[in-house]
């Protein structure tokens, strides 16, 4: 049974529930909450899979502001939670402060690298998965114009956008790719109204397939696409079910696997730098009963062939995080 820890308000202390074993793992979700239907929810699903399979318990928290981050990590470390998993790059700075104070506690951070002996840093080749769904967007588009809505304008999200555009242009070199970011602050992850507005503007420019990499904001993107009778592409978790027959696919970023693996290793967590990409099934695309009628056999064959080439190293997808340029797209 899950043991839940919550932060109640901007300055409240963690309410540590009784009953958690000293070595129970813990997970700290990013802003937007564990039911954002995207990144955080994928992390939650990994924790729940571990709990279901093992019968174990874990502690969790959904923060309400950035100011709570360091306190949240310290409280879990002090309570004996081990390992402690943090979903999101914004945990990096407080973790850098805290990790050295708890050398016997293992930490995992997802989407950022923290160089400490007791930290596992998990990063993803989002550009590879985005390339694959970009190919699908180009093959499904009837107008030759597709688009991208990002959340917070940071290198990580530009990494998605650039890979997507490269995949689109690999299929149709004459295609137009429109890209917009929701904002420059963490609020950009949870603004479905703004996501909807950006999608409508892109549709007015001819887009008939839109890829959202924007956390909770993406819910507004997918809803507006469905309402406007164009196709959308989900992200992180499989979002095909949100609008059956309208979501072309979802770019899977297996945050759930990262959490599940960390929880499974427990106190013996292998620390260091970990990369999850196409080659080790860390990223990919979703195919299920909700989008089966949208993905043709030819489309699937082309994308699977590209995935095999990426895994073999014979197809290189530009990585914005290592080279902050975007040959296929202008922001």
Task: For the chain, count helices (H), then strands (E).
Answer: 9, 14
- Please, is 184 exposed, middle or buried when counting C-beta atoms within 10 Å of its C-beta (0-12, 13-18, 19+)? exposed
**Cβ proximity of 38 and 215 under 8 Å:** yes
pTM: predicted TM-score of the whole model, two decimal places: 0.86
Residue-level pLDDT at 8: 31
- According to DSSP H, which parts of the chain are helical? 39-54, 69-79, 92-98, 126-140, 155-171, 192-204, 217-227, 255-265, 297-312
Distance of CA 84 to the CA centre of its chain: 19
208: nearest Cα among 238, 229, 222, 193:
229
Residue ranges of domains in the chain? 3-125+256-276, 126-252+284-323
Q: Which helix (H) or strand (E) holds 234?
A: strand 231-236
Q: How far is CA 114 from CA 32, 109, 299, in A?
A: 23, 8, 39
What is the dotted CATH code of the domain comprising 126-252+284-323? 3.40.50.2300
What b-and-e string marks burial along 44-78, b requiring 16 or more CB atoms within 10 Å of the CB?
bbbbbbbbeeeebebbbbbbbeeebbbbbbbbbbe
**Cβ proximity of 111 and 54 under 8 Å:** no
C-alpha–C-alpha distance, residues 284 and 282, integer Å: 7
243: nearest Cα among 264, 261, 265, 220:
220
**Cβ proximity of 274 and 262 under 8 Å:** no
Per-10-residue mean pLDDT of the chain, 331 residues long, equals 36 38 85 90 96 97 94 97 96 97 98 97 97 98 98 96 98 98 94 98 98 95 98 95 98 96 96 96 96 97 98 96 89 78
**Cβ proximity of 218 and 233 under 8 Å:** no
Six-digit token string for 143? 């107008």
Sign of CA dihedral 245, 250, 254, 255: negative
**Cβ proximity of 238 and 250 under 8 Å:** yes
Architecture of domain 3-125+256-276: 3-Layer(aba) Sandwich (3.40)
C-alpha–C-alpha distance, residues 254 and 103, integer Å: 28
Equal fold, 3-125+256-276 vs 126-252+284-323: yes
C-alpha–C-alpha distance, residues 34 and 4, integer Å: 12
- Please, is 262 exposed, middle or buried when counting C-beta atoms within 10 Å of its C-beta (0-12, 13-18, 19+)? buried
Residue-level pLDDT at 17: 37
């Amino acid at each position: 049974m899950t043991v839940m820890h919550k932060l109640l308000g901007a300055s409240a202390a963690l309410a540590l529930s009784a009953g958690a074993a000293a070595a129970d793992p813990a997970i700290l979700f990013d802003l937007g909450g564990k039911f954002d239907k995207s990144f955080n929810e994928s992390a939650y699903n990994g924790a729940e899979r571990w709990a279901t399979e093992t019968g174990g318990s874990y502690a969790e928290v959904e923060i309400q502001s950035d100011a709570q981050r360091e306190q949240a990590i310290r409280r879990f470390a002090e309570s004996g939670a081990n390992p402690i998993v943090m979903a999101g790059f914004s945990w990096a700075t407080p973790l850098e402060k805290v990790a050295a104070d708890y050398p016997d506690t293992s930490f995992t951070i997802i989407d950022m690298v923290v160089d400490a002996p007791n930290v596992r840093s998990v990063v993803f080749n989002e550009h590879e998965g985005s390339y694959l769904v970009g190919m699908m967007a180009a093959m499904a588009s009837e107008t030759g114009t597709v688009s991208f809505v990002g959340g917070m304008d940071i290198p990580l999200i530009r990494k998605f956008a650039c890979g997507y555009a490269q995949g689109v242009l690999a299929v149709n070199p004459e295609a137009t790719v429109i890209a917009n970011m929701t904002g420059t602050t963490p609020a950009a992850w949870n603004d479905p109204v703004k996501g909807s507005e950006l999608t409508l503007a892109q549709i007015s420019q001819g887009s008939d397939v839109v890829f959202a990499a924007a956390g909770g904001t993406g819910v507004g993107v997918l809803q507006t696409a469905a309402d406007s009778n164009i196709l959308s592409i989900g992200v992180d978790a499989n979002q095909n079910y949100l609008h059956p027959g309208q979501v072309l696919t979802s770019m899977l970023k297996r945050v759930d696997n990262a959490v599940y693996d960390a929880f499974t290793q427990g106190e013996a967590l292998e620390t260091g730098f970990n990369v999850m990409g196409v080659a080790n099934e860390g990223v990919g695309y979703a195919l299920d009963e909700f989008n089966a009628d949208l993905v043709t056999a030819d489309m699937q064959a082309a994308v699977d062939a590209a995935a095999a080439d990426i895994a073999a190293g014979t197809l290189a997808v530009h990585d914005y995080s290592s080279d902050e340029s975007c040959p296929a797209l202008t922001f």
